[in-house]
Chains A and B, each alone.
Chain A
Amino acid sequence: AQSVSQHNHHVILSEAASLELGCNYSYGGTVNLFWYVQYPGQHLQLLLKYFSGDPLVKGIKGFEAEFIKSKFSFNLRKPSVQWSDTAEYFCAVSGHNNDMRFGAGTRLTVKP
Chain B
Amino acid sequence: DTEVTQTPKHLVMGMTNKKSLECEQHMGHRAMYWYKQKAKKPPELMFVYSYEKLSINESVPSRFSPECPNSSLLNLHLHALQPEDSALYLCASRLAGGQETQYFGPGTRLLVL
- B45 and A44 contact, CB distance less than 8 A: no
- A44 and B56 contact, CB distance less than 8 A: no
Instruction: State which size class the interface on B falls in.
Output: 20 to 34
Give the contacting residue for B56; candidates A46, A98, A102; CB below 8 A: A98
- Chain B residues within 8 Å of A54, by CB: none
Could you mark each residue 45-56 of chain A with 1 if its beta carbon is under 8 Å from any beta carbon of chain B, else 0?
110010110000
- Chain A residues within 8 Å of B31, by CB: 98
B55 proximal to A (CB < 8 A): yes
Instruction: State which size class the interface on A falls in.
Output: 20 to 34
B99 proximal to A (CB < 8 A): yes
Which of B12-20, B65-73, B101-109 has 4 or more CB atoms under 8 Å from chain A?
B101-109
Which residues of A line the B interface, CB within 8 A? 30-32, 34, 36, 42-46, 49, 51-52, 88, 90, 94-105, 107
